[in-house]
Structure 1
Amino acid sequence: MDLTFGSDVLGAVLTGSRARGTATDHSDLDLVVVVAEQSTPWRHDVRTAALDQVTCTVEALADTSTTWQRYAYRGAQVLLDRLDGQITALVERQATPTAAEAAEWARAGLDAYVNQLYRAVKSRRDGFPEAARLDEMESIPWLLATVFALHGRLRPYNKYLDWELATYPLSPFWTAELQPAKVAGGALRLFPAVAELARERGHGDVLDAWGFDLALISSAAG
């Protein structure tokens, strides 16, 4: 595929599985093309089986307020940077939370994780095992968001969780426990370890705000 760029293009960034080396026979090219100006911050130009291309302004690439899309830049390859490293720096900024961002996400994720576990424990206690299982499953995204944020990191997309842990491992404990096959059934079991990590990072007040309910979760996590 021809990836030559006109003079109006300031940068080009390859994202997705081809950038990370995890492509399959079904993988397309995920390409972000950066220009100085256009009528909208983001424009989806091509969406085919072979190429998914969006065009954005430099200002849009610098905007980190939309958290869900930021992991797209983890492991991205900058194919073109006509701004003397600025495009590369903006891609790195998207993929790397600040300490303040990570702390904010950790606190929000931790509270949501505890909330879902509390619902699961109550459902199981009250004789609703199917509801409890669903509640515990719903806690897994919050578990992942919390643990990665407590390590100053973005939560990976599920598809790239294996890649993230292999490429940028956490401690041996967390790298092992967050493997997809293991974490999928370990949301409640991992609560004591998450709570310990959160307290080490200074977020014990989020846990303590749950009062007696925290003991109920801890007892069920056993």
Structure 2
Amino acid sequence: MNPFDDLVTRATADPGVRGLVLTGSYARGLETIHSDHDVIVVMDEESRGRWETRRSAVLDEIIYTVDGLADTSLLWQRYAFRGARVLLDRLDGRIAELVELQAEPTADEAREWGREALDGVVNQFYRAAKSRREGALVAARLDEMESVSWLLTTIFSLHGRLRPYNKYLRWELDNFPLGPPWDDLPERVAADPGSLFKVVCGLAERCGHRDVLDSWGDSLDVVRATYG
């Protein structure tokens, strides 16, 4: 029996296990010969001591409590639940509900993230524009590269979504399209982040965040003189 099947068998036999959730490449149908299984084992609090998180080249066995699965404060972890598969749910659908809660931000969450990330976008391109103005092209390029995280967070947040892990960016767009002009987003953001500045600002304005841009005053003109 392989380690994944062994885990499923052991978990199913333990009444303290409340749920099993498959994440990662296997959940999304993207597995290769190098992929491991990523499985979240959801325990009741009383049984948690019988299990511990274990990671190997073939299986990551990650222990959560039900309350831990309900905690959405750890933002970087939440995209792991996008496309996840619930293998066991002994709480009459509650495990599936909590997985969806992790994977889908609320409107207020997305709005807050989008505004914060938009401010970061302008900041990075303001730095880059000033460096280009001074002829410091390497520094400018580094700032443009650093803008990628802010750009992707802004774009997906303003669409009410979590920013995908880079590995799953193409999978996300293929399965949950944003539509034009974002179809070639992975290639475009990798090749020329600055080409996205104008279109992201347009998206932000349509989403009601013009005030974030206006707060930069004349500095925004410096950015637009370089990036449109």
Structure 1 residue 140, shift from structure 2 partner: 0.6
Q: Which consecutive residues of structure 1, in runs of 5 or more, have no partner in the other structure? A: none
Letter in 1 for 2:210: G
1:159 alignment partner in structure 2: 167
Deviation at 1:39, TM superposition (A): 8.9
Distance 1:53 1:221, change over 3 A: same
Per-residue displacement from partner, 1:191-217 (whole Å, max 9, x unpaired)?
A: 111111101111110000001111111
Q: Which moved more, 1:183-192 or 1:91-100?
A: 183-192
Q: CA deviation at 1:182?
A: 1.9
For the 8 Å contact 1:38–1:57, the answer to whether it is kept is no
1:196 equivalent in structure 2: 202
Please list every run of 5 or more consecutive structure 2 residues that lacks an aligned counterpart in the other structure. Answer: none
1:40, distance to aligned residue in structure 2 (A): 7.8
- The answer on whether the counterparts of 1:107 and 1:203 sit within 8 Å (CA) in structure 2 is yes
Residue 216 (structure 2) aligns with: 210
Residue 20, structure 1, aligned to residue 28, structure 2: yes
Aligned length: 219
1:174 CA displacement: 1.2
CA RMSD of aligned residues (A): 1.5
8 Å CA contact 1:169, 1:175 repeated in 2: yes
Q: Deviations over 1:129-175 (max 9, x none)?
A: 00000000000110000000000000000010010011111012112
Quote the residue 1:141 is aligned against: 149
**Secondary structure of 2:174's partner?**
helix
The DSSP-based 3-state class of the residue aligned with 2:108 is helix
TM-score scaled by length of structure 1: 0.95
Distance 1:56 1:88 in 2: 14
Other-structure match for 2:124: 116
Please state how far the C-alpha of 1:190 moved relative to its aligned partner.
1.2
On the 8 A contact 2:24/2:80 being kept in 1, the answer is yes
The 3 A distance-change label for structure 1 pair 73 and 132 is same
Please tell me whether the aligned partners of residues 15 and 73 of structure 1 are also in contact (alpha carbons under 8 angstroms).
yes
Alignment of 1:58-207 (within 5 A): 58-176=66-184, 178-179=185-186, 181-207=187-213
- Contact kept, 8 Å, 1:10 with 1:81, in 2: the verdict is yes
